[in-house]
Amino acid sequence: MNKITASMSKISEDAFAQSEMNFKKSIDVIDSVFGEGYAKKNPSLIVAFLQASSTETAGSFIAAAIQDLSAKVEGIDNAISNPLSSQLENIAQNI
């Protein structure tokens, strides 16, 4: 997982741009399913679509972060669990 290096203002700008894109896309999707103009007549459906989309995105990011963290914790656990001589043997074998 990459380290976040953007400033808070850049992150905020990007989030707003993504939200705007998601808003427009939700209207397109809703209208494509229910007919032109349906989204405009049913703004609560747009809200529900955006909430579901945001929840899915957040869940994916959290799952990726947990997976990355889990791999790092496993590496630390392995380092602690293996005696130094075993680690040195592994290094020697890989040289």
Q: What is the pLDDT of residue 83?
A: 66
Q: What is the pLDDT of residue 5?
A: 84
Q: What is the pLDDT of residue 85?
A: 66
Q: At what angle do helices 43-81 and 8-34 cross, to 10 degrees?
A: 130
Split the chain (95 residues) into runs of 10 and give each run's mean pLDDT: 81 88 96 97 96 91 89 81 70 75
Where do the domains of the chain lie? Answer: 8-93
Q: What is the pLDDT of residue 23?
A: 95
DSSP symbol at 83 = -
Joined tokens for residue 81? 């669990």
In sequence order, which residues have a C-beta less than 8 Å from that of residue 53 and are 6 or more positions away? Answer: 22, 26
Q: What is the pLDDT of residue 66?
A: 92
Whole-structure pTM value: 0.63
Q: What number of helices (H) and strands (E) belong to the chain?
A: 4, 0
